[in-house]
Structure 1
């Protein structure tokens, strides 16, 4: 009969496997660049979600919370989260990246300032933080700022999500009306 290998047929995964996220060399080969013209937001989201599911990182974009900072998996989670953010930014057109990073940067700076003030016993209420957020937004956010943020003063995360939704709405409206332009050109003698 011979020697039997106790591990043969075992369904145990190897102890040192490479997490799939680390095998991606160019995400643009899988997810097309969102430009609002050829690739719409909804199609980009579907492709990105498929990609994230295939590489076992969907939990980084579906609202799942990261492990606690004292958890041994925290550093790995944050590293994978950074890689996925790189995927997102690398699949946005140059114009969209600048806009997204500006709003993200603005929100992060406000949040950091509020934390610093709290550290010196001068806490900023969430309502006051939202008012400051609204006051510093560019004019294209006036509708969402006035109607949804300033009057209702939602929680911080909800406010940031509303800004994100407004950004997507604004980008969708920027798509040029090709049909209207073509009609105008053919009507002229």
Structure 2
């Protein structure tokens, strides 16, 4: 009988347990899901599955060591995650085979943060000109305004909450004048301001219904 100890089994990286990345992270399209939202979700996912070192700038394993082959396999898996969570537009722009997850991570960063001045000008114009009357509903108005603010944040042009709330009021039609004045006075958070406007919307709808002429 041999006295040699049995070899220890190598623990399988938890990243291999992911069979459908799209059930964890939605596709980055720059609009429905902004770049900043995608990077936050992807980073949390990478932390949870112990592969953050493949995108955070950690020096890759040297290809002269025995650990390189397992590292390369995991890196290819993370690269598949990135590709699997991009819209077709962005996938077409970054798709490569002989590359690393970190290289594509940086390529996406460059796409979204490059030419910041031009993008900031366009987004700021959209932000300032958006009105409730140009949207399908109050909920749509709030959502679009918040989305533009996130896109500005993506290019390092963060919109402070008070500015977001004031722009929300700025784009309201005259029938919201009382609610708008109250928001100016109270300076509530974004969520509270939206709630106040939703309550005002319901009051307007009830008042309009009561004032409507009765059918003959």
Question: Normalising by structure 1, what TM-score?
Answer: 0.52
Residue correspondence of structure 1 range 39-188 to structure 2 within 5 A: 39-101=33-95, 164-169=108-113, 173=119, 177=126, 180=130, 183=133
Aligned counterparts of 1:73 and 1:167: Cα–Cα separation in 2: 32
Q: Tell me if the contact between 1:36 and 1:171 (Cα under 8 Å) persists in the aligned partners.
A: no
Unaligned runs of at least 5 residues, structure 2: 1-7, 137-172, 174-216
Unaligned runs of at least 5 residues, structure 1: 1-13, 109-156
> Any idea what SS the aligned residue of 2:27 has?
coil
Of 10, 30, 33, 2:24 maps to 30
RMSD of equivalent CA atoms: 3.7
> 1:18 Cα deviation (Å)?
1.9
Of 16, 31, 34, 2:10 maps to 16
Number of residue pairs matched by the alignment? 120
Aligned counterparts of 1:92 and 1:98: Cα–Cα separation in 2: 9
Higher Rg of the two aligned structures = 2
Aligned counterparts of 2:115 and 2:86: Cα–Cα separation in 1: 12
Question: Normalising by structure 2, what TM-score?
Answer: 0.46
> Any idea what SS the aligned residue of 1:68 has?
coil
